[in-house]
């Protein structure tokens, strides 16, 4: 598969990611309100959601490699690793092989780490002008919200102010940045910034 074809595939993955993310957020909100099976539904959707991030994170490497190839590559690889750990832990939770308490801290850590990876790519994009400034700001908000939300959940659960603030900002900025980035990939706008690794 050529790089241009892969970026278009990643663009399609973005819209699938956005749909699953929105459904997951709805399930999570309902779970926080009434509990029950909605927690299991959210956990199941989160596995699919994070898997759909894999081509998106690699697309960010392709877009930003002309800025700082080593940093772009390492950050994407770390993001992919964090996503896979998240997927494995959530899948084990869904099938009942582990308890929520056993994976809680690790899942929050991978979520925060993934947010940091998006932050790194946002700053690379700003430095290299590889993505629109508005998009990079939304990515920065998403990255910070992921970290802040994870810290809040760790400290006091979903009722902690940081957790609620992080969840709200994460939900809004998460949808905005992936859809915006996906449109760039599908229209070919992001392809023009590709440059040989340095």
Q: What is the pLDDT of residues 102-137, one digit of tens each?
A: 888 898 899 899 999 999 999 999 999 999 999 999
Least confidently predicted of 1-5, 8-12, 41-45, 81-85: 1-5
Looking at residue 194, its pLDDT comes to 47
Give CA 72 to chain center in angstroms. 16
Residue of 33 and 87 predicted with greater confidence: 87
Model pLDDT for residues 28-64, shown as the tens digit of each residue: 788 878 877 888 898 899 899 999 989 999 999 999 9
Query: Residue 144's pLDDT is what?
Result: 93
Q: What is the pLDDT of residue 191?
A: 56
Look at residue 28 in the predicted model and tell me its pLDDT. 79
Confidence at residue 196, expressed as pLDDT on a 0 to 100 scale:
41
Q: What does the domain layout of the chain look like in residue ranges?
A: 3-193
2 vs 175 pLDDT, higher one: 175
Q: Specify whether the CB–CB gap between 162 and 148 falls below 8 A.
A: yes
| Residue 118 neighbours by CB distance under 10 Å | 28
**What is the band of 192 on the pLDDT scale with cuts at 50, 70, 90?**
low
**Residue predicted with more confidence, 187 or 57:** 57
pTM, to two decimals: 0.85
């Amino acid at each position: 598969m050529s790089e241009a074809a892969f970026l278009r595939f990643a663009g399609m993955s973005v819209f699938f990611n956005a749909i699953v993310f929105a459904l997951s957020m709805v399930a999570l909100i309902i779970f926080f309100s009434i509990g029950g099976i909605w927690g299991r539904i959210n956990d199941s959707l989160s596995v699919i959601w994070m898997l759909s991030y894999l081509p998106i994170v690699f697309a960010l490497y392709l877009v930003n490699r002309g800025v700082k190839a080593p940093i772009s590559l390492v950050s994407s690889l770390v993001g992919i690793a964090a996503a896979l750990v998240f997927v494995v832990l959530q899948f084990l939770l869904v099938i009942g092989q582990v308890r929520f308490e056993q994976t809680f801290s690790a899942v929050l850590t991978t979520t925060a780490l993934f947010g940091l990876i998006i932050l790194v790519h946002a700053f690379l994009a700003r430095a290299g002008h590889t993505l629109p400034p508005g998009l990079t700001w939304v990515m920065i908000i998403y990255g910070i919200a992921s970290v802040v939300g994870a810290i809040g959940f760790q400290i006091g659960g979903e009722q902690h102010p940081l957790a609620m603030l992080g969840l709200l900002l994460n939900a809004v900025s998460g949808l905005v940045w992936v859809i915006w980035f996906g449109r760039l990939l599908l229209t070919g706008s992001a392809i023009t910034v590709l440059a040989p690794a340095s």
